Structure 1
Amino acid sequence: MSGVAWHYVLKFIITGDAAVGKSSLLVRLTDRRFLANPDPTLGVEFGSKLITIPEENKVVKLQCWDTAGTESFRSITRSYYRGAAGCLLVYDVTSRQSFVSARSWLQDVREHADPHLTCILVGNKVDLCSDEEPVGPTGETTSSAPLVDAPSQPRKRKREVSTEEAEIWAQEEGLLFVETSAKSGHNVEVAFERATRDILEKVRKGEFDEDRSPGVKLSQPRNDGLALEASVQTSRCC
């Protein structure tokens, strides 16, 4: 991996209803902390993260766009779907309406994003409905990340969307699936890593063109060993 800071830059979008925890997932990924009371997203918010895929021997930079979940911003957020290589389609496991709404968000993504986009369905807030450590997509449990800005123990809620129902719908729609907790950090990085692996597999198959797909950029090394995302040229007026 000498000569590069990262091998690929991948564009991700995070979409779903308001208050399902999209911003909290992004902050957990990028800053490893939990936002107890995040402000509503107005339009879009941006965050980036370097992740390593050991079996691929690749370092990938994720450029993540957290989109607003309210109807008034929908026309704005759609423009950010274009060129995305990956999508987190988020719902709240304690809110059936957010799961029902995921169908319309998915339709929007498929109408405006790259047809080869990798979408992972993310059932967030599992910490609110169970005292047990949630189980990951392959049956494993993941350790909780340290908490920052976390509130006192919240009141438990009733789960309104079962794991089995969401998993079946994800399979029917050709989506990846995982349940997460932005509060504990459970499966948050797993969600992005699974989507990243799927995108890299599509790159190998030629479904994403490294030179022409805006959501997948191949990093070019510099002589001093640092990677450039883009070269910037400046000129002066005489």
Structure 2
Amino acid sequence: MQKNRDEEYDYLYKIVLVGEAAVGKTHLLSRYIKGTLPKNPTSTIGVEFATRTVTLESGGTVKAQIWDTAGQERYRAITSAHYRRAVGALLVYDITNEKTFHAAKRWMEELRDHAEPDIVIMLVGNKVDLCNNKSEVRKVTTLEGEAFAKQNNLLFEETSAVTVIRVREAFENLLQAINSVKVRNGNAGQSMDKGGKLVANRDIDKQSSSCC
């Protein structure tokens, strides 16, 4: 059976979206995957995920398995279990809510405790559209975000899911950085199967081409 275009990839990377509730994680994922915002936005219950295949600027094709996790405390045990095998994360905060920024340290520590040892984390300040006409609503400056990211060896972006500012760049710069780390560490030829187990890419090819 011929593989669909979306099934043709060199690497499969698991990414998680984390951060406090209502910072816009689901909106960012929907905008990136579907090009639209959720029609009936509600708080994520537990964990949801989507996939997208991306061609890297450096060469090669990545299938991103992106997990959107709930920010509420009552789902913490469920979501932290899904950090397993994650090689990348978007750690999202709301630039108009400094409490969500202060919580970023705790989310970062959870990721580093439960995900892969070489996980690549991008700090994302979301909702920049709210500051376009009312600069006073911004509670976390770009410099503060950049400083926290630099101090903790994180990538950094500011985005808006509403006006599509830097959304694609956030996801795909993260994927590129993950691939660079994997190449540098000599394990870019490994990925995950559907059960979350590390396998060689040649084994993934066999799985993808097998019938039904």
Question: Match for residue 158 of structure 1?
Answer: 137
Partner letter of residue 110 of structure 2?
Answer: D
- More divergent stretch after superposition (68-77 vs 3-12): 3-12
Q: TM-score, normalised by structure 1?
A: 0.77
Partner letter of residue 23 of structure 2?
Answer: V
Alpha-carbon distance, 1:192 to partner: 1.0
- Change in CA separation of 1:157 and 1:201 when aligned onto 2, cut-off 3 Å: same
Q: Is residue 26 from structure 1 mapped to residue 29 from structure 2 by the alignment? A: yes
Q: Is residue 205 from structure 1 mapped to residue 184 from structure 2 by the alignment? A: yes
Question: Match for residue 153 of structure 2?
Answer: 174
**Cα distance in 1, alignment partners of residues 185 and 44 from structure 2:** 35
- SS of the aligned residue for 2:82 comes to helix
Question: Match for residue 16 of structure 1?
Answer: 19
Partner letter of residue 141 of structure 2?
Answer: S
Find 2:123's aligned residue among 110, 116, 121: 121
Q: Where is the helix percentage greater, Structure 1 or Structure 2?
A: 2
- Change in CA separation of 1:217 and 1:180 when aligned onto 2, cut-off 3 Å: farther
- More divergent stretch after superposition (190-199 vs 65-74): 190-199
User: Highest CA radius of gyration, 1 or 2?
Assistant: 1
| C-alpha contact 1:6 1:219 (8 A) present in aligned 2 | no
Partner letter of residue 175 of structure 2?
Answer: T
| C-alpha contact 2:30 2:37 (8 A) present in aligned 1 | yes
Question: Match for residue 171 of structure 2?
Answer: 192
Question: Match for residue 135 of structure 1?
Answer: none
Partner letter of residue 98 of structure 2?
Answer: R
Alpha-carbon distance, 1:210 to partner: 3.4
Alpha-carbon distance, 1:36 to partner: 6.2
| C-alpha contact 1:81 1:113 (8 A) present in aligned 2 | yes
| C-alpha contact 1:11 1:215 (8 A) present in aligned 2 | no
| C-alpha contact 1:209 1:216 (8 A) present in aligned 2 | no
Partner letter of residue 28 of structure 2?
Answer: L
**Cα distance in 2, alignment partners of residues 86 and 124 from structure 1:** 18
- Change in CA separation of 1:211 and 1:6 when aligned onto 2, cut-off 3 Å: closer
Alpha-carbon distance, 1:202 to partner: 1.2
**Cα distance in 1, alignment partners of residues 107 and 164 from structure 2:** 24
**Cα distance in 2, alignment partners of residues 33 and 181 from structure 1:** 12
> 5+ unaligned residues in a row in structure 1: which ranges?
132-154
**Cα distance in 1, alignment partners of residues 39 and 136 from structure 2:** 17
Q: How many residues in Structure 1 have an aligned counterpart in Structure 2? A: 204
**Cα distance in 2, alignment partners of residues 202 and 215 from structure 1:** 19
CA RMSD for the aligned pairs?
A: 2.7
Say which structure, 1 or 2, has more relative contact order (CA 8 Å, 6+ apart). Answer: 1
- Change in CA separation of 1:212 and 1:130 when aligned onto 2, cut-off 3 Å: closer
- Change in CA separation of 1:156 and 1:42 when aligned onto 2, cut-off 3 Å: farther
| C-alpha contact 1:10 1:217 (8 A) present in aligned 2 | no
Partner letter of residue 142 of structure 2?
Answer: T
Q: Is residue 79 from structure 1 mapped to residue 81 from structure 2 by the alignment? A: yes
Alpha-carbon distance, 1:194 to partner: 1.1
| C-alpha contact 1:14 1:90 (8 A) present in aligned 2 | yes
Q: Is residue 70 from structure 1 mapped to residue 64 from structure 2 by the alignment? A: no
**Cα distance in 1, alignment partners of residues 203 and 60 from structure 2:** 14
- Change in CA separation of 1:215 and 1:29 when aligned onto 2, cut-off 3 Å: farther
| C-alpha contact 1:208 1:216 (8 A) present in aligned 2 | no
| C-alpha contact 2:189 2:201 (8 A) present in aligned 1 | no
| C-alpha contact 2:12 2:63 (8 A) present in aligned 1 | yes
**Cα distance in 1, alignment partners of residues 20 and 180 from structure 2:** 29
Partner letter of residue 105 of structure 2?
Answer: R
- Change in CA separation of 1:46 and 1:205 when aligned onto 2, cut-off 3 Å: same
> 5+ unaligned residues in a row in structure 2: which ranges?
none
Quote the sequence identity (%): 37
| C-alpha contact 2:92 2:123 (8 A) present in aligned 1 | yes
